[in-house]
C-alpha cells in the first residue's frame, strides 16, 4: 500500500500543478481576448495584422465556456459585436 499512496500523492501533485497552469493560461487567454477585442485592425501595422488574425482565429476556436472562464479570470467582458475580434 505505501507504493500506492506514493502514486496517489504524485498524481495529486501533478493535478494541482496542471490546474495551476490552467489558471495561468486562462488569464493569458482572457487578457489576450480583451486586447484583441479592442484593437482596430485598420490601424494595426501590417506586420502585426497576421499575428492578430492568428490570435483572433485561435480565440474564436475556443469553446464558449472556456472563453468565458478566461474572461472571468481577468474580470473582462467582451461586447457581442466585438466577439469576432481582429476583423
pLDDT digits (tens, 9 = 90+) for 15-44: 999 999 999 999 999 999 999 999 998 999
What pLDDT is stored for residue 14 in this prediction? 98
Report percent pLDDT > 90 for the chain. 78
The predicted model gives 81-87 an average pLDDT of 44
Task: Kindly list the domain boundaries of the chain, sorted by start residue.
Answer: 2-79
Please report the beta strands in the chain, taking only residues with DSSP state E, as ranges in sequence order: none
Looking from the CA of 42 toward its CB, the CA atoms found within 13 Å total: 0
Calpha distance 6→31 (Å, rounded) = 38
What pLDDT is stored for residue 80 in this prediction? 66
What pLDDT is stored for residue 81 in this prediction? 55
pTM: 0.78
Amino acid at each position: 500500500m505505501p507504493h500506492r499512496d506514493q502514486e496517489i500523492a504524485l498524481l495529486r501533485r501533478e493535478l494541482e500543478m496542471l490546474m495551476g497552469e490552467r489558471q495561468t493560461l486562462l488569464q493569458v487567454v482572457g487578457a489576450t481576448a480583451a486586447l484583441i477585442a479592442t484593437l482596430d485592425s485598420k490601424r494595426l501595422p501590417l506586420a502585426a495584422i497576421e499575428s492578430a488574425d492568428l490570435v483572433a482565429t485561435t480565440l474564436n476556436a475556443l469553446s464558449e465556456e472556456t472563453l468565458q472562464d478566461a474572461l472571468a479570470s481577468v474580470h473582462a467582458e467582451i461586447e457581442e459585436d466585438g466577439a469576432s475580434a481582429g476583423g
